[in-house]
Each structure stands twice: as structure tokens, then as C-alpha cells.
Amino acid sequence: MGNEVMSVLKKDYIYNLMLKGKRQDGRAFDKIRNIDLRTNVIEKAEGSAWIKLGETEVLVGVKLQVGSPFPDSPGEGVIITSMELNPIASPDFEAGPPKEGAIEMARVTDRGIRESGAIDLSKLCITEGEEVWIVFIDIHVLNNAGNIQDASSLGAIAALLTATVPVEREGRGEDMPIPVRDMPISVTLVDIGGEMMVDPDLNEETVCDSRITIVSNQDGSISGMQKSGDGALTEEKLLKAVSLACQKASELRETHLLNI
């Protein structure tokens, strides 16, 4: 977020640990924190997921409404992703409209899902050019302990996997599950003094030079990427990050999504 305030001493401490190949919480550089994922936690939502990544907590809700399609894709449903960094989640968050950090993360999550073709949007068309299903993915951040991005993206796809299209409610036939074809998963790494670390905690996120998020799919292809933060990345570091992220994503998919 960049708004966090941190003492120089702490920065030095984290940097010196890195030189010894260690992290503050004892994890290896390529280890993701413990994940607790629960789905269907909100009955009123068409799909939902509560995810705890380390101490970070995010709640994702999926709602569907009938609306009109975009003029350039009259036969396809619409995905709208938004994220709120609620003041409940951190002393540094303020109420009000989303700022650039929240907008960026929501859009990265959105692109991952959209570009991977995870949802078969053509099946969400009711009458071409007139009515389609609009899928609202709302990301509610409850506790920020670093790496909201990955928690959100994992939560979003988990919520989609459990979501139903409320056809009956609209009096148009029988309910059906959202047609999910792929499971894009984002993995974020930070560059601290030249070392790439997976799944940064809050301190690491605050001291890092730059941050890179890579969204990859079941077949190992990449559907989204975003560099963030004030630093620059060398080609070598970037390629290393990409291959590590794809590997980690497939591990996450196996452990947390395939049984939903």
C-alpha cells in the first residue's frame, strides 16, 4: 500500500535477515503462509468465500443481476470486480471511494479471471444484445497483514466455483452453476535487496523495492501480470519469478480449489 510507516531499524532488520537467507516469520523465500479457505459463508450471496492467508483476512462475495451487455460483446455476460479496503482492516485505511491501490488490485484480479476465460461468458447471455447476467465480484478486506492481492484472487475464484446463477429468482427457469472453465491463481513476489520472496507479509510488502503479481492457469499459461512499486526488475529476476509463481499456483490449486 505504501502508506504504512516503518522505522529504519526494522527495515535494516528485515534486510539483514534477507542477507542470511531468512525471513522474519521463519519461512523460506518460496513458502506461502498457511491458508484457511471456507466457501458459502454468506447465504444471501450467490457465491462466497472467506480466506485467511497468514493473518490476512478477505471475504469475497459474488452476486448476479440481469443487465445489459457491452455494445462490443452483445452475446456475453459481464464481470465487474471491485475491492474495498475497509478501515476495519488496517489503521492506515480510510473510508471513502477506492484509492489507486485498491483499484489496481481489483483490476488485476478482474483481468486474471477475464483473460483466462475462467468464466464462459457466452453461457451468461439471456437474450443477445439485450439481457445478460452481470457477475459482481466484491472483495471485502477484513484484515490487512500483507498480500491482499493473492488472498483476493484465490477468494474470488473459490467464490465463483461455488456460485449459482439465480435463474429461478428471476422466474426464468432453473438455477445453474456459474460456468467456470479455468482456475486462474495469482502469486505475488516482492524484491527485497535483490532476493525474490513469495507471499510477502505486511513488513516485507512495506520495505520491498518492487512487487510482481503473476496470474497463471491450469495449463501453466499466464493470463495476467502486474509490476507494482517504485523499483525496477531485471529480466533474470522476472523470469525466475514467473516460473516460481506458476509452480506455486499449481500447488495452491491442487490443495485448495480442486476439492470445492
- Residue 57 or 205 having the CB closest to another protein: 205
**d(Cα 184, Cα 253) in Å, to the nearest integer?**
9
**Contact with another protein (CB under 8 A) among 33, 52, 111, 140:** 111
Determine the size of the site formed for another protein (CB under 8 A): 47
Q: Do the Cβ atoms of 83 and 98 come closer than 8 Å?
A: yes
What is the DSSP secondary structure assignment for residue 68, as one 8-state letter? Answer: P
Give me the 200-239 binding string for another protein, x by CB under 8 A, dash otherwise: ----------x-x----x--xxxxxxxxxxxxxxxx--xx
How many alpha carbons fall within 13 Å on the CB side of residue 209? 13
Residue ranges of alpha helices (H) inside 63-190 are 100-115, 148-162
Cα(52)–Cα(155) distance, rounded to whole angstroms? Answer: 9
CB of 30 to another protein, least distance (A): 17
Q: Is 66 in the site for another protein (CB under 8 A)?
A: no
DSSP 186: E
Q: How far is the CB of 101 from another protein (least distance, A)?
A: 8
Paired residues of 157 in beta bridges: none
Per-residue contact flags (x/-) with another protein for residues 87 to 106, judged by CB under 8 A: ---------xxx-xx-xx-x
Contact between 243 and another protein by CB under 8 A: the answer reads yes
Between CA 84 and CA 22 the distance in angstroms is 33
**Which residues of this protein are in contact with another protein, per CB under 8 A?**
70-72, 78-82, 96-98, 100-101, 103-104, 106-107, 110-111, 114-117, 210, 212, 217, 220-235, 238-239, 242-243, 246
